Structures are given as structure tokens and as C-alpha cells.
Amino acid sequence: MIRLGLIRNPRSQRNRSSHGDMAGRAAEMLGLFYAEPATPAELTEVLADFARNEVGIIVVDGGDGTVREVLTALPEAYGDQQPMLSILASGKTNLIAADVGTTGHGTRAFCRLVEEARRGYLGSHIQRRPVLEATWADGSRPPVRGMFMGTAAFTRGTALAQEKVHSRGLYQGPAVALTIAGALARALRGKDGWLDGEPMNVVVDGSNGPEANRFLFLATTLHRLVLGIWPFWGEGREPIRYLDISAHPESLHRAVVPLMRGRPEPFMLADGYRSGVAETLTLGIRSPFVVDGEMFDPGPGGTVHLSAGRSMDFVIP
């Protein structure tokens, strides 16, 4: 039997009302391999203890942010012998779980995972995804590892969602969809200079693009998003997909539907709408960017490297 460990975020949206029941069952079934770390340092320490005890599958009970924190801490804790992950989707947004799969959330889903592990079935269904790593060129902070990043209008849309969407109790797919829709709607209405974009330079696999304001930039190693949204196109085996839209893009009102479906019209390819695949991306930016729901400052140097040199295996029953 593969040994399981559980990292649980009690502050995740769906965990707030079931803390006692889940904590009790997890402690009973896993003993020392159940933890609710409160800080990144504590998380790294817990994961290092899991590694010493040969925990082979780490169950992450939380949303995208919790998965991001685990992915960020794993290389230091486990080195090159990485475990597999399984996600109990209990966060405000669960893009990663929607792509790689999930057993569900809560005590029942957790007990199912444990039972599958005992029967030797857990680990027979695996989804592998490259891990998106953001590295600060000036060394102002440690790397962050996740699956989805965005900046410019995406950063502003995330702030808008945190203020309005989540406060209305809209989570999961609707929250993500409304984040994107809200950004596009404000841009189309000319609200608050959204179409002006943010100053940015984008280097794709060493090739410089135009240094100019960008309305929207996205990058991901996921294979799908939510509600049929997939604003990427272009062929290739490189692990990172990206979308790069110039400030004041041509006919945004006509581009919204083909953009959301990843099926660009000819006019989009000719003016300001760029998408493709890459091994590495280097961003010269001044404004914050978002990785799996959390905002990060680009630092005084303003240069952030994106790469995907590591992969992670996700398991579901």
C-alpha cells in the first residue's frame, strides 16, 4: 500500500463548516501523516517529515492556492524523488482539480481515497502536468510554483472578483468565468482605462516580442479550464501555453467569443492577439501578477522568468 499523507487547509471555503468531523477522521486514519500547517515554513517542515517517512501520495484538501503552496514547497522537502498528489477540491477556485481530476471534497471523498489506497487501486489513474515556475531575476523572493498565471487585465479582474464575486458567494467555475467576463465587460465599456493595459516586455524562448503595453497576458500548463473557456491557440509540444494581447486590441467586441474558445478570426492574428506554446517566458513587468489566485509583486528588478522544468503526477480513484 502506498502511504498517504494529508495537507488540509481549514480556511478553504468548503472546509470551514466541516473542520471537526474531517480533522477527527483524518487523524484517526492517518495518524502522524495529517497536518494543517499555518505557514509556508511549517508546510515545508511537514512535507520534509512526510518524505522521511516515505509518504508516496499527498492528499491536498484545499483550492488552487493550497495546491500552489504545496507545489512550491515540494522540491525543498522531497528533492528529486517527488510524491504524487491527489486533490480534494474545497477552495474558492479549483481550476487545477477541474483539469487533473478530483475525488470530490469532504470526509466522504477522503475516506474513499483511503479505501482505494488500501485496496491497492490508488495510483492506477494518473494525470501528469508540467508545473509552472515563476522565478524572480533579482532574487527578491523564492520561486513560486503553480499551474496558471495572469497579469494586466487579469490582475485587475482578480481584484474585482475578490471584492464582488466571492463576496456574493460565487465560487468554482462561476467565479473564474465572472472574473474574465468582468474584465472584458469593463474594457468594452471603456471603464477605468482597462484597454490602456500595463507596460510589459515578453520574451518567448529567447525571442523578444514588442515592448509595449499589454491589455491581457495569461500563461498555463493546464490542459483545460472551466465552462469550455480556452483562450489559447497554436500547435506544439512545449509545456507552457500563453496568450498575449496588446493594449487597445483591434475590435475586441468581435474577438470576445472566438477568444474565449481559442478559435481566432483572421483579423485577430493580424493585429494584437498572440498565442502559442513555449518552453520559457520572460516578462518585464511593473505591476502585480497572479499565480493560482494570489497576487505577487514583480520586485524591484521587474523581471520574472516562467518555466516548466518539473512535472507532477496527480492521482484519482
Architecture per CATH, 4-124? 3-Layer(aba) Sandwich (3.40)
Looking at residue 75, its pLDDT comes to 97
Q: Residue 307 gets which letter from DSSP?
A: E
Q: What is the dihedral of CA 32, 314, 62, 242, to 10 degrees?
A: 140
- What are the start and end residues of each CATH 3.40.50.10330 domain in the chain? 4-124
Assign 175 to helix, strand or coil: helix
Where is average pLDDT lowest: 4-13, 63-72, 109-118?
4-13
- What are the start and end residues of each CATH 2.60.200.40 domain in the chain? 132-309
Looking at residue 19, its pLDDT comes to 55
Give me the mean pLDDT over the 280-308 stretch: 96
pTM of the model: 0.92
**CATH assignment of 132-309, given 3.40.50.720, 3.30.930.10, 3.30.428.10, 2.60.200.40?**
2.60.200.40
Where is average pLDDT lowest: 20-34, 141-155, 187-201, 229-243?
20-34
Dmax (CA) for the chain in angstroms is: 60
Give me the mean pLDDT over the 6-12 stretch: 83
d(CA 166, CA 307): 30
Q: Tens digits of per-residue pLDDT, 179-216?
A: 777 777 778 887 678 899 999 999 999 998 778 999 99
d(CA 94, CA 100): 10
Contact of 127 with 98, CB cutoff 8 Å? no
Q: Is residue 90 over pLDDT 90?
A: no
d(CA 55, CA 83): 7
Q: Residue 2 gets which letter from DSSP?
A: P
Q: Tens digits of per-residue pLDDT, 135-189?
A: 999 999 999 999 999 999 999 988 877 766 555 544 555 566 667 777 777 788 8
Looking at residue 18, its pLDDT comes to 58
